[in-house]
Homo-oligomer: A and B are copies of this chain.
Amino acid sequence: MVKVAVAQAHLEVGDVPANISETLRLIDLAAKQNAQIVVLPELANSGYVYKNKQELIDALAEVDVLKIWKDKSKELKNIIVAGFAEVQGEKVYNKSVIIENGKVLDIYTKVHLFNDEKEIFTPGDNPPKVIQTSIGKIASMICYDLEFPELVRLVAENGVELLCVPTNWPEGSFNRSINEPRPMELIKAMSAAATNRIWIALSDRCGEERNISWLEASSLIDPDGWPIAQVGHGAGIAVAEIDLAISKDKSLSPKNHALNDRRPELYK
């Protein structure tokens, strides 16, 4: 059994030191509940709603967030998965990192950019890797990536047990419907988990940034597709003790297998 935490953060656009402090506070909260892994939102060092690339580059100057998270992971002997913005030369990337016991195991760059992200970030050119950790096989993709069933299939095929998804889900008419308790992004995430029989740990945002508010939908979703732990309203964490190994059972019925039943020759 593994204790997994999803952390929902309130971040401030432009105030990188404050944002990093907020991530450390949530990471410590998770550790106090003995979580072996904690997942943080997308762009957890920077916040989201920048006017342009230069404003983001200026905000990021000279703060080495990876060093800070590595030190924290080493101190707590845990796994941290977090989204962050990174400047390289004249480009800015929307990335996520997997750190275990102070070591960076993988860095992934978001390949599907949402809306104005296209004006700021350079997309990645590699799919997420599935990484063997002490708790099991994990991978990370970021926010809008999760809405592409093809990408989730790929990591499922590669054996992912727990898919960690840092997100910034902005509130908007495209994801809400009156009387619906869940936004459509979460419905898609539930479907992705059930379709591939994998665990998904989703960390979203709360609060407001420049008139954008967030769905506050951070959830841990089981391989049947049901959210078993949610943060709810405001900043904080949700922790659950789960069995990652059940994701290895891909049975949908005594005679059906979520992956082997596919007929790829018919999908083109």
**Chain A interface residues toward B at CB < 8 A:** 111-112, 114-116, 118, 125-127, 144, 147-151, 153-154, 174, 177, 180, 184, 187-188, 190-192, 194-195, 224-226, 252-256, 261-264, 266-268
Contacts and interface: CB of A to CB of B under 8 A. Distances in A.
Contacts of A255: 114-116, 118
B112 A254 contact: no
A266 B224 contact: no
Nearest to A128: B266
Contact of A253 (B114, B180, B191, B254): B114
Contacts of A262: 148, 150
A261 B110 CA distance: 13
Contacts of A151: 266-267
B264 A150 contact: yes
A254 B170 CA distance: 14
A20 to B, nearest CB: 28
Contacts of A195: 147, 149, 188
